[in-house]
Structure 1
Amino acid sequence: MRGIMFRVLACLSLFFFLVPVTYVRGPVPRANESQYIALEPIVIDAKNPVRTRIGRLEFLGGWKITSDNAAFGGISSMIALPDSRFLMLSDNGSLFGFTLDESKHRAIRPFIAPLPDGPAKPNEFARQNWDAESFLHDPETGQFWVGYEHQHSIWRYGPSLARREAAHFPEATKNWPENEGPEAMLHLPDGRFLVFSEAAEYSKGGYQALIFASDPAEPGSKAVRFGYQPPKGYNLTDAAILDEKTALMLHRRFTPFDGVSAILSTAQLKDFQPGKIATSVPIATLRPPLKVDNMEALAVTRDRDQIFVWIASDDNFSALQESLLFKFRLLKGKVAQTKPEPERKNEKAGASPGFSTFESD
């Protein structure tokens, strides 16, 4: 009986994790205008609170983020600005911002507000059309780009995020599944833009991604396809430029028997070529007993020769999940190795085995 109950609960968890939020949420919460955002410090491993090393990542801090504003939640992408300022986008087209005071675990000057414009008018029936999944910022011009699912499109906003400047519904995305749109974007050092589907299959293998030679938000901008093959059993959720040659790629996975996990990997920018299939090399895996949720947002910051990696989670507006923010230091040295676990006899057919990460110095 205990085993049956476990499988029932696992299947329920899988349902709430995979089905689009729009269809599993109850009535839209009554709107309020609270601008309060609270941070609660957490450790990465409750069973071993002093643990800091996960592959090539050193854990420096973590926070559970909450707010009594009904629009808060569903973090799908984020941007780290100077002076510890963060901007986060939600599945419902809301924008969250705050300055992180790490020493006092406070969100200073927080705000919660809807984006000024999107693929549909901002009302409670249009939330799935405001499913903002990817986020870019150009520090030189101050402009922002947002990638939306459901009505697959790329929008550009001005430096204050107060108005739309351009919007484009690329022809190349029209056959992408409704809930597998522009999950991640990169602005390459040479000026090109990359737009990644979460799981639209590429004919040569992996999943579809697009290369735009110019601004993808401008109507008429053309794209060429290539493929991206994530680690087996995982889907890409975000990406960030690490340096002039390398990108960081964030992936998630969920099975009813293993729960949720995430893999961070590195990809070479030179491998993102038209008609080719790019891959990446895992450098760290987050999985139980580590604190992990639906990790969807990724950002990179620097301080002199140190590189910091920030990862945040999407709670799907569910009471069963949490909005988390982690800070890691990227360690130098060899890439962490990965090896597949022995396949479980009770794992569903077709489900990919998990990964375990061991550290190398």
Structure 2
Amino acid sequence: MRILFVVLIALVFVPAWSGAPRLPLLGARAVIHSSPVALVAGQPEVTRIGQLEWLGGVSLTSPDPAFGGFSAMHVAGDRFTLLSDGGNVVRFRMGRDGRIADPQFINLPDGPGAGWEKFDRDSESLAVDPATGDHWVGFENSNQIWRYDAAFTRALGHAVPPAMQHWPENGGAESMIRLASGGFIVIGEMARWPKRRNRVALRFDGDPIATPNRGFRFGLVVPPGFAPSDATLLPDGRMLVLLRRFALPYSFTVKLMLVDSRRIAPGAMLEGTEIATFAAPYIHDNFEAVAATREGDDTILWIASDDNQSILQRSLLLKFRLIEPAPPSDAGDRGLTPTR
């Protein structure tokens, strides 16, 4: 009888208890180590891949067992925000020498589920308002979008946009961009429209939490076997999409594709131009996060990987300069100036 009583108490007071281990949460003591990596191991003279110039990269580690799993990223100057697919946030500053300073660990204060299992907190995409610092996070499985304050101390609202309700549970809002106009672009990882090769994308006229019904749908044509894992906007307004393919026994191939954002319109099908492919012998992993910044006249691309909490993978943070020829001066849609 005493055992039955204990079980009943656990069912009443433990949220979403199912016997599964609790989702790992980051501890309060933030420790991050970085070690340099090469574009091609053992060949430091190799500094170009496709239309990208290698500027360096690091592998990130921490003694915290919840560290890793990074699926989205925001970069502002030397300040980095990495969002994991388990509702964890890692923040730090990084110098040009790759050294980490001012690390901070945060767990999202709220989300679609109780947070007991990863299914509850599968946070995959991130967008930021540069004026307020507020963050929007896209969750797979629940196909929800949540808004948090600048410090990730509280949730400010959430929504289940009707156009996302029937997206695949494990292939939802993998990519999200906030536009200077206040609108958003959300790309589904596995949701197909109208054909198998295409992925569905949504253009929201405003905040998808405040006005989830305002906007339109368009399609993105991807290479066979690949799926979008993140996207960002370049300073000239073009959209850059990170595409990933997994193959057995255990390997990833990743492509970067430039898309003309001027063609975004209701029902449009957008094709892109591949500018780089990450596969052996070049460094490659489960790349799931991309961000664009400026340094002087240069467009800088940052790419991060999701290690899936696996000893077979790494949490990489890589830096490149875009050397793709500049588009005509009128190519950028001023309403699509990047804010991420």
TM-score, normalised to structure 1's length? 0.80
Contact 2:300-2:321 within 8 A present in 1 as well: yes
Q: Distance in 1 between matches of 2:59 and 2:48?
A: 20
- Post-superposition offset of 1:27: 7.8
- Provide the residue aligned with 1:48 in structure 2: 43
Q: Distance in 2 between matches of 1:37 and 1:50?
A: 28
Q: Could you give the per-residue CA deviations for residues 245-268 of structure 1, whole angstroms, max 9, x where no partner exists?
A: 301111111222793111111111
For residues 168-317 of structure 1, the aligned pairs below 5 Å read 168-204=159-195, 206-218=198-210, 220-256=212-248, 259-317=251-309
Q: Could you give the per-residue CA deviations for residues 57-77 of structure 1, whole angstroms, max 9, x where no partner exists?
A: 011111010111122111000
Contact 1:189-1:244 within 8 A present in 2 as well: no
Within the candidate set 84, 89, 94, 1:90 is matched to: 84
Distance 1:259 1:98, change over 3 A: same
Q: Could you give the per-residue CA deviations for residues 302-328 of structure 1, whole angstroms, max 9, x where no partner exists?
A: 112111100000011111111101000
1:118 aligns with 2:146: no
Within the candidate set 76, 96, 105, 1:81 is matched to: 76
CA-based RMSD of the aligned residues comes to: 2.1
Q: Distance in 1 between matches of 2:251 and 2:37?
A: 20
Contact 2:25-2:107 within 8 A present in 1 as well: no
- Provide the residue aligned with 1:59 in structure 2: 54
Aligned residue-pair number: 307
**Partner amino acid, structure 1, of 2:89:** L
**Partner amino acid, structure 2, of 1:70:** P
For residues 3-42 of structure 1, the aligned pairs below 5 Å read 32-42=27-37
**Partner amino acid, structure 2, of 1:180:** G
Within the candidate set 138, 141, 149, 1:150 is matched to: 141
Q: Distance in 2 between matches of 1:141 and 1:334?
A: 31
- Post-superposition offset of 1:31: 6.9
SS of corresponding position for 1:236? strand
SS of corresponding position for 1:240? strand
Give me the identity figure in percent: 38
Structure 1 unaligned spans of 5+: 1-24, 336-361
Contact 1:80-1:87 within 8 A present in 2 as well: yes
SS of corresponding position for 1:40? strand
Distance 1:217 1:55, change over 3 A: same
For residues 304-343 of structure 1, the aligned pairs below 5 Å read 304-333=296-325
250-259 or 88-97, which moves further after superposition? 250-259
Q: Distance in 2 between matches of 1:184 and 1:29?
A: 24
Q: Distance in 2 between matches of 1:95 and 1:191?
A: 24
Contact 1:87-1:98 within 8 A present in 2 as well: yes
**Partner amino acid, structure 2, of 1:115:** L
Distance 1:331 1:30, change over 3 A: closer
Q: Could you give the per-residue CA deviations for residues 32-75 of structure 1, whole angstroms, max 9, x where no partner exists?
A: 44310110111110142210011110111110101111221110
Distance 1:229 1:56, change over 3 A: same
- Post-superposition offset of 1:178: 0.5
- Provide the residue aligned with 2:14 in structure 1: none
Q: Could you give the per-residue CA deviations for residues 221-276 of structure 1, whole angstroms, max 9, x where no partner exists?
A: 43422211122321111111103430111111122279311111111112222112
Q: Distance in 2 between matches of 1:258 and 1:58?
A: 27
**Partner amino acid, structure 2, of 1:158:** D
93-102 or 218-227, which moves further after superposition? 218-227
Structure 2 unaligned spans of 5+: 1-19, 328-340
Contact 1:143-1:157 within 8 A present in 2 as well: yes
1:107 aligns with 2:107: no
